[in-house]
Structure 1
Amino acid sequence: MQIKRSASAHWEGSGKDGKGTLSSASTVLNETQYSFNTRFADGVGTNPEELVAAAHAGCFSMKLAFNIQGAGFTADSLDTQCVVTLDTESGSISGSYLTVRAVVPGLEKAQFDELVADAEKNCPISKLFNTKITVDATLA
């Protein structure tokens, strides 16, 4: 089975002075503004790296939830933050840093660490990356 999702970008003007919008088929993004300032400064709107960070945090959390379920547990909560670093000199993403705080009654730390490591390697967004992925995981 293949699942396809789509989004689109519209851009007007030059790279630095132009502006654009992003939209998704689900309409969660609906002509959401992005520009040079939202990517490289502090403008209002989003940017590709922020969207990649959201995708990685969401994908990792869902994969970890499935791993925890497969081990016979249910997470009360998984809170994941992702920081994606854009190296402006090389023009590439140089890293994705995930921080997850989990509340999973009955799950031992050693098993949790194994489930985290699997989620880090096997969530589809992690597989998409060609960069260093780091995870800091805490089980409460």
Structure 2
Amino acid sequence: MKFTRKANANWKGTGMEGTGKISTQSTTLDNAQLSFKTRFADGVGTNPEELVAAAHSGCFTMQLSFLLNEGGFTADDLNTEATVTFENGSITLIHLDLKGKVPNISAEEFEKTANKAKEICPISKLLNTTITLSVELVS
């Protein structure tokens, strides 16, 4: 399977005082605000690191669901929080915090499957940084 997806960013002004907008092909983001403040402080809008966290948590969680299905399991609930660490001009770490409710799976099998998903999800393979994972199977 091969497909493409697009997003667009537009910026006006200087790096600190300027403003930008970001949009996605699906229009889920449609001229979402992008600025120095939304990236390096608190503000209304988004930023590249937040978008990477969203992409990584979504990709990993979907990949895990596929792997669980291959193993004969269906998740009742999978929740992944991705935390992106930006330091000295680089993304130095992404931590995935997974909590899942999966009937009839052992904690060991769940963790093994989650680690495989972390390794093979397309966004994990794209990123050139350390990726860590914590796993909790809830009942």
> Shared fold (TM-score greater than 0.5)?
yes
Tell me the CA shift for residue 67 of structure 1.
0.7
* 2:101 match: 103
CA distance in 2 between partners of 1:71 and 1:2 (Å)? 25
Amino acid at match of 1:52: V
1:1-140 alignment to 2 at 5 Å? 1-87=1-87, 89=88, 91-140=89-138
Tell me how large the CA RMSD over aligned residues is: 0.6
SS of 2:123's partner is helix
Percent identity between matched residues is 50
Could you list the per-position Cα deviations for residues 6-27 of structure 1 after superposition, in whole angstroms to 9, with x for gaps in the alignment? Answer: 0000000000110100001110
Tell me the CA shift for residue 73 of structure 1.
0.6
Tell me the CA shift for residue 113 of structure 1.
1.2
Amino acid at match of 1:11: W
CA distance in 1 between partners of 2:50 and 2:94 (Å)? 11
Amino acid at match of 1:40: F
Tell me the CA shift for residue 129 of structure 1.
0.6
Tell me the CA shift for residue 99 of structure 1.
0.4
CA distance in 2 between partners of 1:110 and 1:30 (Å)? 42
CA distance in 2 between partners of 1:97 and 1:129 (Å)? 12
SS of 1:56's partner is helix
Q: Which runs of 5+ in 2 are unaligned?
A: none
CA distance in 2 between partners of 1:42 and 1:111 (Å)? 39
Q: Which runs of 5+ in 1 are unaligned?
A: none
CA distance in 1 between partners of 2:105 and 2:69 (Å)? 11
SS of 1:130's partner is coil
CA distance in 2 between partners of 1:2 and 1:73 (Å)? 27
SS of 1:105's partner is coil
TM-score, normalised relative to structure 2: 0.97
